[in-house]
Every structure is written in C-alpha cells, then in structure tokens.
Amino acid sequence: MSEYTRPVVTAVDASVSHLHENPYDIARDQLRRVADAFDIDGNLVDVLEKCKKAVEVSIPVAMDDGSTRVFTGYRVTHNIARGPSKGGIRYHPNVTLDEIKALAMSMTWKCALMGIPFGGSKGGVIVDPKTLSRGEVERMTRRYTSEIINEIGPERDIPAPDVGTDASVMAWIFDTYSMNKGHSVLGVVTGKPLSIGGSLGREEASARSGLFCIRDAVAKQGGRLDEMRVAVQGFGSVGSSLAKFLHEEGAKVVAVSDTTVALHDPSGIDITAAIAHKRKSGSLRGLSGVDTIAPDELFALDVDILAPCALEQAITERNAERVRASIVCEGANDPVTPAADAILEEKGVLVLPDLLVNAGAVVVSYFEWVQGLQEYFWKEAEVNAKLNDIVSRAFEETWGVAEERGVTMRTAAYGLGVRRVAEATLTRGIYP
C-alpha cells in the first residue's frame, strides 16, 4: 500500500432553509413599491435593484480530525453611491446567495436612513459554527478572509458581526487582513474586541436602538413603557440585550425563546437570571420558575410588544393573524414577510421596521470606523448619546413621513433611505 494517504475532502451543502420566500425577490418588490409611492424614476430603480458585485468563494479547511471540509462563502456589495459598503458576515447552515443579496440591499437603505456615509454589503458562509471547534472556526475565517481580501478594506467594504459571528471572528479577519498588508488596519472591520480597536457600546448597539424606537413609539401613542408587557423571540445578542433594557425600564418581559425552547411567565421573567442561565448552559432550556410553551405560541401571547429578534421570515401569513401585540419591533433583519405585513396593518398593529430598530449596530460600527481612522476612542456615554441622537432623529423623520403620506412606518423608512441613495446616484452620475 502506498505510504501516501489521500486526505478526505468533503463539500458542505446547505441544509433545508428556514426561508419561506425568496428574500431577494421580496427586497426588489419592496424597492419597486417604495419607488412608486415616492415617485422615483424607473431608470434609477433599474440601477438600484441590482447588486454591484457578488463574489462566491470556496473555503477548504483542515479539520481537527485530519479531514478537509470545503465550505462555500459569499460577499456581496449592493451599492456604494454614498460611501464604502458596510455589512455583516453571518455563519449559518441556511445561508444563500439571494439571502445575502437581500441583506446587502437592506443595509444600503439602512445606512442612508441613518444618514451615515456608507453603502450596503453583506457576507456569509454556509456552515453551522456550533458544530465546529474554535480552532476550526478560526481556520475557516482566515481562509474566507484570504479569499475575499481584494473585496474588503477600510475605504472599500467594511465587514462586521452578524448571525453566528462575534468579536473573535472580527479579530481573526482584522489580523489576517493586516498580516497581508504588512501593518495593522484598524478600519477593515468593526465589532472588534476593545483590546484591538473596538468601540465601547458596539455589542449592545442594536438592542439599544430598538429600545429607543420602542420608547419613542410608546410615547407617540400616549403610553408608558413601564406598563408594557413584552415577548421576545430570539435570545442571542440582540434579543437578550433588548429584553434586559426593557426590563430595566420597568416593562414586564413575559416570554422569551431561543433555538431550543420558548418560555412564558405571565408575572414576568427574571431576565438577569435568564441571561446568566443562557451564558452558563448555552441555552434557555432548564430555566426554573417558568412554563415551557410551543415556539409558535409566543407570537400569539396577549402582550403589548412583540419583538422578533432571531432570523428572517419569523412572522408570515401563517401566524400573523394570531399576533395580539399592538407593536411589533423588528429586532432581526426582515422577520415579517410582506404578506404578514399586510395582515398586521389590517389589524392595526404598529410595525417598527428593522431599518430603524436594529440600525444601532451599523451606527456604532460607523463610530468604531471613525475612531479607528482617527486612532482616538470615545467614552461609552458619548457613544450611546450620539447613537440616541441619530436613531431618534431617524425615528422622528420616519414618523413624520408616515403621517404626512398616510403610509406605514416601513414604507416611510424605505422611502427616506431609497430617496437618499437615488439622490446620491443622480448627483454623482453614471461613469463613463
């Protein structure tokens, strides 16, 4: 027998998707509806609905057991009319190219709505990071970075964390990129650890912007936050932090869920204990003093605020009719489908769109990028105050347009974002 042993190489396929509809089709349909409502020229829409660049890469990784697995990754840039593109990287087994395109497009409108000088991008790898060791995730990240290294950069395209990625992943991208350039490049990614140029306030920024939007919406409706009952679907970084903030403001969080279990206590869940339990055990399962309910039951609970903070298309036409909340706060990206949106509107539910609610992450990412370029870092109170100013201003602008035109908050938010990108495109012109 030959002394040479052929290595085992396995290609990794996508699993069955959680998506009920094609997200890129939804994003393009949304753009065209908004363009009609805001009288945006059809020629511009033809430009804006296309992604500038989409790259697919193969990522071979040496596994701990000596085998080699080959993952598929993507990086998509939607638009750079207002500045370099900005968008997260997600590691998830259901990642698709069309999903990444849709998320990149959404980032373009979100950045424009917030008034920050970025376009939209997104990246992803088809992988379940929970099934890999830390070393395997690091090696995969570094190879993925090497494959897209010509697509990213502080003045080109700036990644950040998303579903399945965190500050450690950003550190590996930062280091890989910097080693290839021969010097540290702080602005190549955001969401980095504080020890290597991260920003205070970044980790909880999405949840904090969600809190600001809920606070302002409740005030607009003449209510009080400390009288609200809340259900939070998804207990990752955004969901757990939003639950904590709402609990601290006096709201009663009566239900939470993660990928393993949904929990309910009508008298209110101890969010501090839930976060500690999740941190220790890795899931909410086993938390004492609460009832276990079916995951779909969470959407039908008698609450004032429902916050879907997990993945896309959580609320569809199949369960939207059962929603009893008066406010739906989109902590996740695209958690409500268009069909569900129409049902909720008919029911009189106020939907606070993701463009507003979870924009805190990209706003504080912008702050981190600025701090990295200046090599001068701000105090957390300053970061949070600036975030409050930007999100509250965007909320007021969106609320004003919604009232003036008689449209939903989603249509108003998209209209403001799309109109600003269209204006930038017209101002710059088309080269050559």
Inter-residue contact 91 to 164 (CB < 8 Å): yes
Catalytic residue among 86, 101, 110, 122: 122
CA-to-CA distance for 354 and 214, rounded, in angstroms?
A: 12
Q: Which amino acid is at 316?
A: T
Both tokens of 27, joined, read 């994003």
CA-to-CA distance for 182 and 338, rounded, in angstroms?
A: 47
Q: Angle at which helices 97-114 and 360-374 pack, to 10 degrees?
A: 70
How many residues can be counted in the chain? Answer: 432
User: Which residues on adjacent β-strands are paired with residue 68?
Assistant: 9, 62
CB atoms within 10 A of CB 416: 23
Nearest by Cα to 81 from 432, 426, 424, 429: 424
Task: State which H helix or E strand residue 86 sits in.
Answer: strand 85-92
- Tell me which residue has tokens 């086993």: 286
Residues whose CB falls within 8 Å of the CB of residue 21, separated by 6 or more in sequence, listed in order: 313, 337
CB atoms within 10 A of CB 20: 14
Q: Is 386 a catalytic residue?
A: no
Nearest by Cα to 306 from 356, 258, 243: 243
CB atoms within 10 A of CB 364: 29
User: Which residues on adjacent β-strands are paired with residue 124?
Assistant: 74, 90
Inter-residue contact 23 to 334 (CB < 8 Å): yes
CA-to-CA distance for 9 and 63, rounded, in angstroms?
A: 10
Active site residues: 122
